Amino acid sequence: MLDLFALDNEVAQWEAELPESHGVPRLHLLAQLAWQMRQRDVARAAEYAAEAVPLLFLLPEHEQDNLSARFMLVEAESRWLFGELDAAQALAEHAQREFVRLEAPLGESDAHWLLAWIATDRGDSVRSDRELELAAAAARAANEPMRVDVFEAAAALCSVFRNLQSANSRWGGRFSEDLNGQHPVVAGWISDYLGTSAFQAADFGRAISHLMVAFEAAMATGQLRRAIIVATNIGNGFTSLNAHDAALEWMQRGLDIARPTGWPMSVGLCQMQTAETLRQLGQRESAKSLLREALETLRPVCGSRCYAVALEYQGDLALDLGDYTAALNSFRDLERRGHALDQSDFQSGARRGQAHALSMLDRPEEALDAARAALAMAQGDPYNRIAALRVLAEIHAAHMLPNPEAMEAPNAVLHYLQQAMATAAIIEGYIIPGVLLDAAAREYAASGDYGRAYEISLQASAARDRTHSQEATNRAIAMQVQYQTERAQTESEHHRQLAEAEARRYEVLEQTNAALSHLSAIGQEITAHLDSGAVFRALDRHVHGLLDATHFSVFLLEPNGLYLHCAFGVEAGRTLPATRHALDDPQANSARCVRERREILIEIDGDAVTPNLIPGSLETRSLLFAPLSIGERVLGVMTVQSMTPHAYGERERMIFRTLCAYGAIALDNAAAYRQVAATLKTLSATQAQLLEKNLELERAYKALEDVSLTDQLTGLRNRRFFLQHVESDVALSLRRYDEGATSASPDRDLVFFMVDLDYFKEVNDTHGHAAGDAVLVQMQERLREVFRETDYLVRWGGEEFLVLARAIQRDEAHAVAERVRTAVASRPFELPGGALIQRTCSIGFACFPFLPQAPRLLNWSQVVELADQALYIAKHSGRNGWTALYATDNTPQGDLFDHLVTDLRHAIERGEVKVITSLVQPLALDGAPRRLGLASSAAA
Which pLDDT tens digit goes with each residue over 331-356? 999 888 888 887 767 888 899 999 99
Range 635-640 average pLDDT: 95
pLDDT, tens digit (0-9, with 9 covering 90-100), for 765-810: 889 888 999 999 999 999 999 999 889 999 988 899 999 998 788 8
Q: Which of 198-207, 478-487, 611-620 has the highest mean predicted lDDT (pLDDT)?
A: 198-207
| Residue 923 to residues 877, 899, 926, Cα–Cα distance (Å) | 5, 19, 9
> Looking at residue 452, what is its pLDDT?
82
Residues ≥6 apart with Cβ < 8 Å to 841: 755, 756, 757, 758, 779, 820, 821, 824, 825, 880
pLDDT of residue 202: 81
Q: What is the mean pLDDT of residues 903-929?
A: 78
The answer to whether the beta carbons of residues 839 and 760 sit under 8 Å apart is: yes
pLDDT at 906 (0 to 100): 82
pLDDT of residue 685: 53
Confidence band for 479, pLDDT divided at 50, 70 and 90: very low
Stretch (H or E) spanning 856 = none
DSSP run (H or E) holding 673: helix 650-680
Lowest mean pLDDT among 82-91, 454-463, 732-741, 924-933: 924-933
**807-830 pLDDT, tens per residue?**
788 889 999 999 999 999 999 999
3-class secondary-structure state, position 882: strand
- Which one-letter amino acid corresponds to residue 508? V
Residue 200: pLDDT band (50, 70, 90) is: confident
pLDDT at 605 over 90: no
CB 691 within 8 A of CB 697: no
* Helix locations, 322-430, DSSP H: 324-341, 345-360, 364-377, 382-398, 412-425
Percentage of the chain beyond pLDDT 70 is 86
Q: What is the mean pLDDT of residues 218-240?
A: 92
Q: Are 48 and 33 in contact (CB under 8 A)?
A: yes
Beta strands in 216-288 (DSSP E): none
Residues 6+ apart with CB under 8 A from 484: none
DSSP category for residue 893: S
Distances in Å between the Cα of 571 and the Cα atoms of 364, 497, 574, 620 are: 87, 35, 5, 10
Report which listed range, 470-484, 585-599, 602-616, is most confident.
585-599
- What pLDDT score does 114 carry? 97
Buried b (16+ CB within 10 A) or exposed e, 100-122: eebebbbbbbbbbbbbbbbbbbb
- Res 151 pLDDT > 80: yes
First to last CA, the chain: 34
Does pLDDT of 555 surpass 80? yes
Q: Where are the alpha helices (DSSP H) in 61-123?
A: 61-81, 85-101, 105-122
Between 890 and 637, where is the model more confident? 637
The DSSP call for residue 124 is -
Distance, in Å, from the CA atom of 39 to the CA atom of 19, rounded to the nearest integer, reads: 22
For strands 580-582 and 563-571, give the pairing.
antiparallel
Quick check: 506 pLDDT over 50?
Answer: no
Q: Do residues 708 and 786 touch, judged by C-beta distance below 8 A?
A: no
Nearest CA-CA partner of 670 in 534, 520, 542: 534
pLDDT at site 652? 87
Helix (H, G, I), strand (E, B) or coil at 800: strand
Say what the pLDDT of residue 797 is. Answer: 82
**Number of helices and strands (H, E) in the chain?**
36, 15
21: CB partners within 8 A, 6+ apart: 29
Q: What is the DSSP string of 15-48?
A: HHHGGG--HHHHHHHHHHHHHHTTTT-HHHHHHH
Q: Provide the pLDDT for residue 617.
A: 67
Give the DSSP H or E segment for 816. Answer: helix 813-825
The per-residue pLDDT for 784 is 94
Question: What is the secondary structure of 603-664 as a DSSP string?
Answer: E--TTPPPTTPPTT----SEEEEEEEEETTEEEEEEEEEESSTT---HHHHHHHHHHHHHHH
Q: Is the model's pLDDT at 65 over the cut of 90?
A: yes
Name the region of 104 (left: φ>0; alpha: ψ -120 to 50; beta: rest): beta
Kindly indicate the confidence band of residue 934, based on its pLDDT and cuts at 50, 70 and 90.
Answer: very low
Q: Which helix (H) or strand (E) holds 499?
A: none
Q: Which of 303-307, 439-443, 519-523 has the lowest mean pLDDT?
A: 519-523
What confidence score (pLDDT) does residue 611 get? Answer: 60
d(CA 413, CA 390): 9
Task: Say if residue 512's pLDDT is above 70.
Answer: no
Does 194 have pLDDT greater than 90? yes
Residue 361 and residue 711: Cα distance in Å, rounded?
Answer: 54
How many residues make up the chain in this entry? Answer: 940
Confidence of residue 504 (pLDDT cuts 50, 70, 90): very low
What value does the mean pLDDT take over residues 364-381?
Answer: 88
Residue 57, amino acid: F
Residue 580: how many other CB atoms lie within 10 Å: 12
Q: Cα 163 from chain centroid?
A: 31
Local confidence band at 304 (pLDDT 50, 70, 90 cut-offs): confident
The residue among 471 and 70 whose pLDDT is bigger is: 70
Ramachandran category for residue 835: left, alpha or beta (phi over 0 → left; psi -120 to 50 → alpha):
beta
| Residue 593 one-letter amino acid | C
864 contacts: CB under 8 Å, gap ≥ 6:
752, 754, 802, 846, 932
Model confidence at 11: pLDDT above 50: yes
Q: What is the amino acid identity at position 806? A: R
Q: Which residue has the higher pLDDT, 259 or 496?
A: 259
Tell me the average pLDDT across 608-621: 68
- From residue 528, give the alpha-carbon distance in Å to each of 54, 582, 689, 692, 833: 43, 31, 17, 14, 41
Check pLDDT > 50 for residue 882: yes
Is the pLDDT at 699 greater than 70? The verdict is no
Instruction: In whole angstroms, give the CA distance from residue 7 to residue 318.
Output: 44
Whether the CB-CB separation of 777 and 714 falls below 8 Å is answered with yes
Query: Taking residues 742-759, what's their average pLDDT?
Result: 83
Which of the residue ranges 313-317, 458-462, 681-685 would you say has the lowest mean pLDDT? 681-685
Over the chain, what is the mean pLDDT?
Answer: 84
Confidence of residue 429 (pLDDT cuts 50, 70, 90): low
> Closest Cα to residue 150, out of 5, 1, 305?
5
Tell me if residue 281 falls in helix, strand or coil: coil
C-alpha dist (Å) from residue 916 to 814, 844, 886, 900, 923: 8, 10, 8, 16, 11
Cα–Cα dist 488/293, whole Å: 12
Closest CA to 665 of 635, 639, 692, 685: 635
Average pLDDT over residues 388-415: 88
Give the pLDDT confidence score for residue 894 in this predicted structure. 77
Tens of pLDDT, residues 83-105: 999 999 999 999 999 999 999 99
